Amino acid sequence: EPEVTQTPSHQVTQMGQEVILRCVPISNHLYFYWYRQILGQKVEFLVSFYNNEISEKSEIFDDQFSVERPDGSNFTLKIRSTKLEDSAMYFCASTVRTGDYGYTFGSGTRLTVV
Amino acid sequence: RKEVEQDPGPFNVPEGATVAFNCTYSNSASQSFFWYRQDCRKEPKLLMSVYSSGNEDGRFTAQLNRASQYISLLIRDSKLSDSATYLCVVWRQGGKLIFGQGTELSVKP
């Protein structure tokens, strides 16, 4: 079964450092997403990406965040200057079409900011 | 008001029990509905889509009532392996998946 691959599985970083979280969506999927889940809280939408541009972003996705699909297979989330409150599980997801079709999530990157 | 609200948990049930989860959503423009399952510290996995006519997948039955903006999930003959957090999720046109906070289920021998 095709899967969404995320690397690294766990990253520890110093506050103020830049981090890049990487995702390889399923190859024929067209819509890509980043979600995050702070420990003990619900899964929250960050950003959606379609046709090489952001289609929607949440209020969490401020100027410190950016996404890129540099080479047609990878989909990255960059956090420019990490804060303690960025510590969370970050999930990448993709889908072949939106609507009644569920998304496939990657296994996540656990980001710990110290 | 939260866009998707679920029963607070946890639910602790014996093996073989029937358990029902309830969910309400506030945005009437929501168009698609799902139940996802999340194991501890893992990614959400699609359990089933939910249709107005109701749908069943083995021991799992999902119902949708658009008029009252209510979604349910029934698990019959629960197994130890059903222990997880169940996430009610909605989608609306031009939007994204919106998750409820989840209801934790623990099935005991």
Cβ neighbors of A12 (< 8 A, separation 6 or more) are A112, A113, A114
Reported as a pLDDT band with limits 50, 70 and 90, residue A70 is confident
**Per-residue pLDDT at A97:** 84
Reported as a pLDDT band with limits 50, 70 and 90, residue A11 is very high
Distance of residue A14 Cα from the nearest chain B Cα, in angstroms: 22
| Arithmetic mean of pLDDT over chain B | 94
Contacts of A91 in chain B (CB under 8 A): 43-44
Nearest CA to B31 out of B71, B99, B91, B97 is that of B91
| Arithmetic mean of pLDDT over chain A | 94
For testing contact with chain A, the best of B3, B25, B97, B98 (most A CBs within 10 A)? B97
d(CA B77, CA B96): 33
Average pLDDT over residues A26-35: 93
**Per-residue pLDDT at A73:** 87
Peptide bond into B10 cis (omega under 30): yes
Asked if pLDDT for residue A10 goes beyond 80, the answer is yes
Provide the pairing of β-strand B11-14 with B103-108. parallel
Spacing of C-alpha B58 from chain mean position? 15
Q: What whole-number percentage of chain B has pLDDT above 90?
A: 82
Asked if pLDDT for residue B52 goes beyond 90, the answer is no
Distance of residue B19 Cα from the nearest chain A Cα, in angstroms: 22
**Per-residue pLDDT at B95:** 67
Contacts of A106 in chain B (CB under 8 A): 43
Average pLDDT over residues B20-27: 95
**Total residues belonging to chain B:** 109
Bridge partners, residue B92, by sequence: B30
B interface with A, Cβ–Cβ below 8 Å: 31-32, 34, 36, 38, 41-46, 49, 87, 91, 93-102
Distance of residue A25 Cα from the nearest chain B Cα, in angstroms: 14
**Per-residue pLDDT at B29:** 85
Asked if pLDDT for residue A16 goes beyond 90, the answer is yes
pLDDT by residue (tens digit) across B69-87? 999 999 999 999 999 999 9
DSSP B26: S
CA-based radius of gyration for chain B:
13
Nearest to B43 among A33, A102, A107 (CB): A107
Distance of residue B79 Cα from the nearest chain A Cα, in angstroms: 24
